[in-house]
Amino acid sequence: MSRAGAPSPLQALALRAGLLPHWTDAWDQPRAVGDAALRRVLEGLGLPCGSPGQCAASHAWLAADDAAHALPPLVTAERGQPVAVPWPHTLPQRAYRVTLEDGAIIAGTAVRGAGADAALMHLPAIDVCGYHRLDLGDGHATLAVAPRRCYGVADALRHAGRGKGDGEGARTSPWGLAVQLYSLRRGAACGMGDLTALAEGCASAARAGADAIAINPLHAPFAALPERYSPYAPSSRLFLNPLYADPATVFGQAAVDAAIAGLDAGATLQALDARSEIDWIALAPLRYAILRWLWQRRESLLPRAALDDYAAFRARGGTALHAHACYEAIQARRLGDSANGNVNNQRAAPDWRCWPVTLRSPADAAVTAFAQAHADDVGFHAFVQWLADDGLARAQRAARDAGMAIGIIRDLAVGADPGGSQAWTRQPETLAGFHAGAPPDLYNPLGQDWGVAVFSPRGLRRHGYAAFLEMLRANLSHAGGLRIDHVLGLARMWLVPAGAPASDGAYLRYPLQDLLRLVALESWRHRAIIIGENLGTVPPELNAALSARGVLGIDVLWFQREAQAQDDARDEATEETADLAGQEAGTAAFLPPQDWPADAVATTTTHDLPTVAGWWAGQDLAWRDRLQLLAPGETLAHAQAGRARERVALWQALCEAGLCSGAVPAPDHAPLDAVLAWLGTARTALRLLPVEDLLGLPEQPNLPGTTSGHPNWQRRLDTEVRAWFGTPALRARADAWQGIRPGARHPPAQR
């Protein structure tokens, strides 16, 4: 079938189920999902499709199911715009009543739409944002009325009592640092960065004029499986990683020292802290042992006010916190039984999908019985969540007290482990049997399988987006901003059936406008900016939708290029001439930062990309060659030759900006200060400087496509947080990033 022709029964079913039989790839070429792959995805969604008859039956089932749930538990709308409510009945009009959050009542008559809107009832605009109760006929729903856009950087500045600029020499736009929290160092020997180091880093950056500090995801990993330490493949995105907690903030340093001494762990902890890379497998059990020692003595070590605060936190956490704590305790017990030979399949012990049937839901009676029998274990896992939550709150307060208008920008991973806590507690809203990923693209010709589970669009609608809101609110807690990883997932997600090649997946549509409205509403309620990671192949219409909603994109130096000239005469230019022009075939010129999209965050790089020093030296290429990750048929020499041409292009841009002159520096002499000064002219809403580039480091935190061979999520910084701006060279680098000319430094804006 051509794209313009009538869809086959299989394709028609796919479209009805929200799948995209056709899509456009990274090379801007139309692609079609093969019938075999389409059948596998549809059958994974519970829709038989082996014959035209089965396709028709599944199509009819979808239609009947949608009609039976036509009025969903939650309907979104936009402030000042007419409200459209799904309604299956044929009456031309119906009385409605909206009870606002403050108790005010709005009543009237809803009118059925015509034509394509015949399944909708239309209500007049509601001018009050919030979660209101809608009664329509004999049905009711929550009506979420959202502002037109998210809370923005300018709003944060106004709320802090500041304008965007403060005269000659001031910052051209607000800026901040981007850090990997685990990599930070402070005076105490911790083995890894913690939330106290983050608080100190916030104060240090604020003194240098920063308004934000962006961090890696803090999501809860598997406490009993320290080898699973990737922040982007967590057990749950609802809770925090307790390893980041600094118990000294609650217990006092003397108690922590006593715990370390009681465990005879001082020498081990000092040795682990001295390493340049985190040994998660050795460090995590030690840190948990310290926390457990303190937990067992909490009644004697903590004042009554702290114990009451913990009790209140546990009560507020409700069933979600209790379920997560139960999951952690059950998993630890099963792994212990496995190690002792009491469980036949050790590999199955961690995964709730392989647990006994009686434990496969947090609502099961056996889970309740387990919690009662192991109350101390369950309480411990709730307790360490309290410690981490308290530490994060302290860090955000430190950021705001130091004068940051935004403070901490948290990071929301695209999914969670399908065998983890969040999938266990939110089974109706989670797509079983699929992983999120990406189709083949320029950097991954075989596609990507990220191994994480994501929400089901139908499940979200059916349950009033409760799981999405729960997650959103958890990650906006104690934060001034939120970065949404792979924001394309709000519109569509590449689903890979478990066990299938990533290339055999298909895109599934998500209710973009509903999700963006909820994001905007929660953004204002938490006074937090929203950043959408929109790198890679993102449809222009999505970027437009994000911009319209005030979701900031990300502008990365390496990708901000001018359109490649197609002049045939240029192909005949000598290599020397072409290089000097920055336009050798395949090497597009770098776009001046003044011309970068304004509705974005500007940055040199990300955790998945090379640092400035590493890019200039080709360090990333050397790693890819070593791990056999270069493109098929490409050699390191060829890749390095291409990078040399790119260096010329970047050098040319710096020279044209009046920041450099002369010959291109050698690979081991990156013009870092000039690059930062160049990006300091960007007119984006916010600029984030990775701390690795502030310090001039050559190595990046993560090398995508690797699970071994490269120290992903393990590297630590040598410089302590209090010394980030402790030398004239580092202060000058920060000034350059702020757009402050040498010799014209002004104090930070009045805070």
- Which domains can be identified in the chain, with CATH numbers? 9-67 (no CATH), 69-146 (2.60.40), 153-414+423-441+453-513 (3.20.20.80), 514-738 (no CATH)
Residue 337 banded pLDDT, cuts 50, 70, 90 = confident
Q: What is the pLDDT of residue 705?
A: 82
Q: What is the pLDDT of residue 341?
A: 60
Hey, what are 251's tokens?
Answer: 């217990």
CA angle, 715 as apex, 712 and 719 as ends, to 5°? 155
CA distance 437 to 435: 6
Classify residue 529 as exposed, middle or buried by CB count within 10 Å of its CB (0-12, 13-18, 19+): buried
Residue 172 banded pLDDT, cuts 50, 70, 90 = low
pLDDT of 750 above 70: no
Pure H helices in 657-710: 672-679, 691-694
Contact 408, 343 (CB under 8 A): no
Pure H helices in 140-252: 153-159, 195-207, 248-251
What is the 3-class SS of 130-164, one letter each residue? Answer: EEEEEEECCEEEEEEEECCCCCCHHHHHHHCCCCC
**Residue 115 DSSP label:** G
C-alpha of 253 from chain center: 33
For residues 734-750, give the mean pLDDT: 67
pLDDT in tens, 114-131: 888 888 999 999 999 999
Radius of gyration of the chain (CA): 27
> Which amino acid is located at 542 in the chain?
L
User: Do strands 139-146 and 74-78 pair parallel, antiparallel, or not at all (unpaired)?
Assistant: parallel
Residues 6+ apart with CB under 8 A from 502: 437, 438, 439, 440, 444, 446, 447, 448, 449, 494, 496
The structure tokens 């040319």 sit at 652
The rounded percent of the chain whose pLDDT value lies above 90 is 81
For residues 444-468, give the mean pLDDT: 93
Sheet of 434-438, strand order: 19-20, 506-509, 492-497, 434-438, 448-449
CA distance 632 to 636: 11
For residues 5-10, give the mean pLDDT: 88
The structure tokens 């890979």 sit at 496
DSSP 251-283: H-HHHHHHHHHHTT-HHHHHHHHH-SB--HHHH
Residue 117 CB: number of other CB atoms within 10 A? 11
For residues 299-313, give the mean pLDDT: 98
For residues 345-364, give the mean pLDDT: 85
Q: What is the pLDDT of residue 538?
A: 83
Q: What is the pLDDT of residue 342?
A: 61
Query: Over the chain, what is the mean pLDDT?
Result: 91
Task: Please give the C-alpha separations between residue 301 and each of 70, 111, 352, 359, 375, in angstroms, as whole numbers.
Answer: 55, 64, 35, 35, 20
Find the length of the chain.
Answer: 751
Q: Is the dihedral of CA 433, 436, 439, 445 positive or negative?
A: negative
CA distance 183 to 204: 16
pLDDT in tens, 227-272: 999 999 999 999 999 999 999 999 999 999 999 999 999 999 999 9
pLDDT in tens, 27-38: 788 999 999 999
Residues 6+ apart with CB under 8 A from 264: none
Q: What is the pLDDT of residue 748?
A: 47
Q: What is the pLDDT of residue 563?
A: 75
End-to-end Cα, the chain, rounded Å: 63
DSSP 272-339: HHH-SB--HHHHHHHHHHHHHHHHHTHHHHS-HHHHHHHHHHHHHHHHHHHHHHHHHHHHHHHHHHHH
Task: Please give the C-alpha separations between residue 694 and each of 196, 395, 612, 703, 737, in angstroms, as whole numbers.
Answer: 21, 21, 10, 20, 9
Nearest C-alpha neighbor of 691 from the set 157, 185, 170, 279: 185
Question: Angle between the 365-373 and 304-339 helix axes, to the nearest 10 degrees?
Answer: 110
Hey, what are 679's tokens?
Answer: 């990006």
Bridge partners (DSSP) listed for residue 484: 412, 532
Nearest C-alpha neighbor of 196 from the set 239, 251, 153: 251
CA distance 649 to 627: 28
> Which amino acid is located at 400 in the chain?
R
CA distance 649 to 662: 14
pLDDT in tens, 212-230: 999 999 999 999 999 999 9
Contact 749, 166 (CB under 8 A): yes
pLDDT of 388 above 60: yes
Q: What is the pLDDT of residue 397?
A: 98
Q: What is the pLDDT of residue 263?
A: 98
CA distance 477 to 13: 40
pLDDT of 170 above 60: no
CA distance 592 to 684: 12
pLDDT in tens, 9-54: 999 999 999 999 998 887 788 999 999 999 999 999 999 999 999 9
pLDDT in tens, 626-681: 999 888 889 999 999 999 999 999 999 999 999 999 999 999 999 999 999 999 99
Helix (H) or strand (E) holding 577: helix 575-581
Span of 109-113, 152-156, 737-741 with lowest mean pLDDT: 737-741
The rounded percent of the chain whose pLDDT value lies above 70 is 92
pLDDT in tens, 553-603: 999 999 999 975 433 333 333 333 233 333 444 689 999 999 999 999 999
For residues 280-302, give the mean pLDDT: 98
> Which amino acid is located at 592 in the chain?
P
> Which amino acid is located at 597 in the chain?
P
Residue 375 banded pLDDT, cuts 50, 70, 90 = very high
Region of residue 122 (phi > 0: left; psi between -120 and 50: alpha; otherwise: beta): beta
